[in-house]
A and B are shown apart, each in its own frame.
Chain A
């Protein structure tokens, strides 16, 4: 299935246009605040920037519904903000504070919330979230929740083994799963052309027989509209979808990296295409934003960030007595694990005889599939009668008799 170059310009409500703007600005200003904190030596570990990639985190996460699940990568703070994470959680995480979601046990965007926000924490090993979110999607379907699971991967992470295992399994299961491939053209210091023999990383989808899109990752409306369509298609049962968002990593791999390996011309080209500036010009031209409302929004952002930064700075580091706490769940007093059923349990309990899954490939096991005549015959199934096209050599080949004969032999 070829990648679809997205040209979608869906109509949003004025408020939705402004939401996208607000979250992109929030994304950038949270990161700018942290850059200042980093320079003041208040960030404990590394600091990773999504400068220039905000439209992707914000536009894709904005396409999700409240019930949906997401798992961010390190450069997806914007997605967390859209999902409802307050900036103070991001500040406290980076500053290893006791008030952070992980109580200082991990940093950066490595935290989650299973209960309310439906966020799965990333780890530093790239690609691991792909099978995990596939599992989330399958479990959601089993429980009747009609959810979509979304995660992100970079151009670099798309070369991991677990990317392949995860996406292939998601495809085999037709899981309601959307994968955003942020092609920011650099995996640390290695450019895409030295990683992959593909021009479009969306072409990886062909290997899994799934739908893919290519979008301009610096156009937030296009990103949102494409993600929205993908989320709806996944929710409708069309299987996983891969979206390649083309963009550029304007900072180094992390704060320590001046990224001198990036050609000057490339940097200049992309700096002229700042997603927030482009979008602001669009909003002003379309009269969706004016100077007054812009100023109001900026004041709101400033006061929110000041308050949250202060909270984080004034928070203590974790006390050492918690160091051994929480390695194991101690049972119901620790976590009451209860699946949220949104389908009658009677459909699966008491156990019934084998039920055909709704998501198997059409014709599976019957010698007919989208691949046509070449579909394999599975474990002794009787092949379908060939009704049409009785002429020519191919008809003879695909005819009833030879197939039946080979089936008798026990397959091909």
Chain B
């Protein structure tokens, strides 16, 4: 059992699902001949053929629309956005057409929209986005954002098998930087379930995707100062696993939310409201946020570094919170 990268985990999930189920198809820009801009679908065309690995014109709305139409005949399309930033080109198609179908006219759309997201790789303002919250605000969608190769594979498989449209964000900073040994054979990770990555008793840090690793780094530093932070990986943002969040916060009585998305309208605000509604009496301090700044993602390495959260910022916020 060799350790595999985050990217390899995604490729394996698609490969295994396509091999097991002829209704799974892949559609997107340069997913076939080229194997995807990040090579996540390398080899799929050769294995599964043109009918199942469909290169498209540069038409994000058409990709999403066609995938939705395919799902109506019982296929389970995976629609790739070359960079997740381009998902906004198909915003209307996703939020008005795909998301509302089941509620309005009882039409399930079993499809996955996936693509590379996130910053830290100097991609600039149009190749580094974290647009998850536009979609978390859209009833009818599910939003998944994994942080480890094991989860990436298991959650992508679960997303493909889900009867609802699932947005699957792949943090590109993690693609080739982390490796993990994963079990051979088929497994899934259920949608809508967070996981405790590190147990602790003094405060809870909630995070996901690349910031998950930043939070763990900060937690290790905090431990050296005697502060035991419990770190929770949200994994799915919609539906949000309130149970796991509340259980932890009721134990630690303090909560810090860390995400790479910008601050205003980020999931941290939503979590803060949930805690006010459901755990107000349990809180010993304010719910704090460490997030990116409320600006577009800047290009220059110095600016991007200032824009993004990092372990020092998380550490400092956690120390402040621990004082309460």
Cβ proximity bits B132-173 to A, threshold 8 Å, 1 near / 0 not: 000000011010000000000000000000011000000000
> Which residues of B are found within 8 Å of A353, using beta-carbon distances?
46-47, 49
Chain B nearest CB: distance from A205 CB in Å?
A: 17
Determine the residue in chain A with the shortest Cβ distance to B99: A327
CB distance from A168 to the nearest CB of B (A): 6
Q: Is the CB of A123 within 8 A of B68?
A: no
Whether B59 contacts A128 by the Cβ 8 Å rule is no
**Residues of chain A within 8 A of B72, CB atoms compared:** 114, 120, 132, 135-136, 139
**Contact flags (1/0) for A107-147 with B, using CB distance below 8 Å?**
00011101000001101010011111111111110110100
Q: How far is the CB of A380 from chain B (nearest CB, A)?
A: 11
A70 CB, min distance to chain B CBs, angstroms: 12
Q: Is B25 an interface residue (CB 8 A)?
A: yes
A132 to B49, CA, bound (A): 22
**B48 at interface, CB cutoff 8 A:** yes
| A111, A139, A350: the one within 8 Å of B73 (CB) | A139
Give the tally of cross-chain contacts (CB within 8 A). Answer: 188
Q: How distant is the Cα of A125 from the Cα of B93 in the complex, in angstroms? A: 9
Chain B CB within 8 A of A199 CB: no
* Residues of B with C-beta under 8 A to A329: 102, 108, 110, 163-164
A335 CB to closest chain B CB (Å) equals: 5
Tell me if A106 counts as interface (CB < 8 A to partner B).
yes
Interface residues on A, range: 35 or more
Whether A121 and B105, one on each chain, are in contact in the complex, defined by CB atoms closer than 8 angstroms, is: yes
Q: Kindly provide the distance from the CB of A304 to the nearest chain B CB, expressed in whole angstroms.
A: 24
**Contact with A135, one of B66, B92, B108 (Cβ below 8 angstroms):** B66
A162 at the interface (CB under 8 A from B): yes
Residues of A contacting B23 in the complex (Cβ-Cβ under 8 angstroms):
339
Evaluate contact between A105 and B74: CB separation under 8 angstroms. no
Whether the Cβ atoms of A327 and B96 lie closer than 8 Å is no
B65: chain A residues at CB < 8 Å are 128-132, 134-135, 162, 165-166
Partner of A337, one of B64, B93, B104, B163: B163
Q: Is the CB of A143 within 8 A of B139?
A: no
Task: Tell which of A110, A139, A169, A345 touches B59, judged by Cβ atoms closer than 8 Å.
Answer: A169
Is residue A340 within 8 Å, beta carbon to beta carbon, of the partner chain?
yes
Q: How far is the CA of A142 from the CA of B77 in the complex (A)?
A: 12
Given A123-B100, A334-B108, A354-B45, answer yes or no on A140-B73 (Cβ-Cβ < 8 Å).
yes
List the A residue with the shortest CB-CB distance to B100. Answer: A123
Instruction: Establish whether residues A168 and B105, one from each chain, have CB atoms under 8 Å apart when the complex forms.
Output: no
Q: Report if B312 contacts A (CB, 8 A).
A: no
Residues of A within 8 A of B322 (CB): none
Inter-subunit contact B50/A354 (CB<8 Å)? yes
Residue of B nearest to A127 (CB): B61
Does B226 count as interface, using CB distance less than 8 angstroms? no
User: Are A379 and B33 closer than 8 Å at their CB atoms?
Assistant: yes
- Beyond A134-B62, A135-B70, A337-B108, is A348–B49 a contact (Cβ under 8 Å)? yes
* Closest beta carbon of chain B to A221's beta carbon, Å: 31
Is A351 a contact of B163 with CB atoms below 8 Å? no
Complex: A348 Cα to B25 Cα, angstroms: 11
Q: How far is the CA of A130 from the CA of B110 in the complex (A)?
A: 19
A379 contacts which chain B residues (CB < 8 A)?
A: 33
Q: DSSP majority for the A interface?
A: loop
Min CB gap B200→A, angstroms: 33
Q: Are A339 and B97 in contact (CB under 8 A)?
A: no
Given A172-B57, A348-B49, A132 contacting B105 (CB threshold 8 A): no
Q: Is the CB of B59 within 8 A of A165?
A: yes
What residue of chain B has the Cβ atom nearest to residue A175's Cβ? B66
CB-CB nearest in chain A for B69: A135
* B66, B70, B72, B101: most-surrounded residue (chain A CB, <10 A): B66
A287 close to B (CB within 8 Å): no
Distance from B74 Cβ to chain A, minimum over Cβ atoms (Å)? 3
Structural contact, A132 and B66, CB atoms closer than 8 A: yes
- Check A135 against B33 for contact (C-beta < 8 Å): no
Question: Which residues on the A side are within 8 Å of B104 (C-beta)?
Answer: 102, 105-106, 110-111, 121
- For residue B88, CB closer than 8 A to chain A, the reply is no
Interface string of B19-33 (1 = CB under 8 A from A): 100110100000001
Chain B residue contacts of A123, Cβ below 8 A: 96-97, 100
Given contacts A168-B57, A172-B57, A329-B163, contact A138 B100 (CB under 8 A): no
Q: Is A352 an interface residue (CB 8 A)?
A: yes
B78 to chain A, nearest CB (A): 13
A372 contacts partner chain B, Cβ-Cβ < 8 Å: no
Whether A328 contacts B45 by the Cβ 8 Å rule is no
Contact of B110 among A128, A131, A140, A337 (CB under 8 A): A337
Determine the chain B residues whose CB is within 8 A of the CB of A393 once the complex forms: none
Chain B nearest CB: distance from A276 CB in Å?
A: 30
Separation in Å of the B90 CB from the closest CB of chain A?
A: 9
Q: Contacting A328 at CB < 8 Å: which of B71, B93, B164?
A: B164
Q: How far is the CA of A410 from the CA of B220 in the complex (A)?
A: 52
Q: Does B302 contact A (CB under 8 A)?
A: no
Q: Is A162's CB under 8 angstroms from B69's CB?
A: no
- Chain A proximity of B89: nearest CB distance (Å): 9
C-alpha gap A123/B72 in the complex (Å): 16
Nearest residue, chain B, Cβ from A169: B62
Residue B251 interfacial (CB < 8 Å):
no
Confirm or deny: B103 has a beta carbon within 8 angstroms of a beta carbon on chain A: yes
Question: Quick check: B97 and A114 within 8 Å, CB to CB?
Answer: no
Q: Which residues of A contact B63 (CB under 8 A)?
A: 131, 169
A202 vs B73: C-alpha distance when bound (angstroms): 29
Instruction: Report A262-290 residues with CB < 8 Å from chain B CB.
Output: none
A331 within 8 A of B: yes
B46 CB contacts on chain A under 8 angstroms: 353-354
Cβ-neighbour of B107 out of A114, A128, A360 (below 8 A):
A114
Is residue A161 within 8 Å, beta carbon to beta carbon, of the partner chain? yes
Confirm or deny: A194 has a beta carbon within 8 angstroms of a beta carbon on chain B: no
Q: Is B51's beta carbon under 8 Å from chain A?
A: yes
A114 CB contacts on chain B under 8 angstroms:
72, 107
10 shortest interchain CB distances as A-B pairs: A135-B69, A131-B65, A339-B74, A135-B66, A165-B59, A329-B163, A165-B62, A139-B73, A329-B108, A139-B70
- Contacts beyond the supplied A131-B69, A351-B48: 7 A-B pairs with Cβ under 8 Å: A121-B101, A128-B61, A135-B72, A327-B103, A337-B163, A345-B22, A355-B49
